[in-house]
């Protein structure tokens, strides 16, 4: 954030030194990255891929939770009529399955976070490349993103970048 603010202040200081006619020579744009993340088809596609990739493992977790719940219910219902050794064995089995569930859930969360970060990094790279390509095509001198307090519609090029990400020109 500090880096962005420094850059903004440097640009403002540079622009403050020029007369009004010199300022008209600069073409400045703004990109709302949050809006890009919401609207980019690559983001929606990536989310769908991640969901499909992790759905089988999530189903396994749900099945294991149900199995533990059933074992606990059976123990609560039949525990008083079971032999002490049988009851102890069922309790150990439940405890073991709970540990397995906890470990599997942690692995699932870790793997999911790693995968999301990989996808996010690629998406950010794609968005950056689209912004740079658009800036070069339309001869922008400066494109701002985060750390901007206000932009008018005149300098907001977010929709143009979205079109570029969607494959339009």
| pLDDT of 169 higher than 80 | no
Range name among 8-22, 49-63, 112-126, 154-168 with the lowest pLDDT average: 8-22
Q: What range does the domain containing 91 cover?
A: 2-165
d(CA 61, CA 59): 5
Dist CA 38 CA 44 (whole Å)? 8
| pLDDT(5) > 80 | no
Write the pLDDT tens digit of every residue in 77-115. Answer: 988 888 999 999 999 999 999 999 999 999 999 999 999
What is the number of structural domains in the chain? 1
Buried b (16+ CB within 10 A) or exposed e, 135-149: beeeebebbbbeeee
Q: What Rg, from alpha-carbon coordinates, does the chain have?
A: 28
pLDDT at 7 over 90: no
- Flag whether pLDDT at 67 surpasses 90: yes
User: What is the DSSP code string of 145-163?
Assistant: BTB-S---TTTB-HHHHHH
Structure tokens at 5: 């603010």
Please give the helix or strand (H or E) that residue 142 lies within, else none: strand 142-144
CATH number for the domain spanning 118: value is 3.30.910.20
Question: At residue 4, does pLDDT exceed 80?
Answer: no
Instruction: Express each pLDDT in 116-163 by its tens digit.
Output: 999 999 999 998 999 999 999 988 888 888 877 666 677 778 888 888
């Amino acid at each position: 954030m500090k880096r962005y603010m420094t850059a903004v202040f440097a640009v403002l200081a540079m622009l403050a030194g020029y007369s009004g006619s010199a300022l008209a020579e600069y073409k400045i744009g703004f990109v709302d990255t949050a809006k890009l993340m919401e609207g980019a088809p690559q983001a929606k596609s990536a989310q769908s891929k991640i969901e499909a990739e992790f759905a089988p493992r999530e189903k396994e977790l749900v099945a294991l939770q149900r199995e533990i719940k059933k074992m606990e219910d059976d123990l609560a219902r039949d525990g008083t009529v079971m032999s002490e050794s049988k009851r102890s064995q069922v309790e150990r089995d439940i405890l073991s399955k709970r540990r397995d569930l906890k470990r599997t859930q942690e692995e699932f969360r870790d793997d999911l976070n790693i995968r999301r970060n990989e996808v996010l990094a690629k998406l950010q790279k794609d968005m950056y490349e689209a912004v740079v390509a658009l800036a070069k095509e339309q001869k922008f001198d400066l494109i701002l993103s985060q750390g901007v307090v206000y932009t008018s519609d005149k300098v907001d090029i977010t929709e143009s970048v979205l079109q570029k990400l969607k494959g339009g020109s």
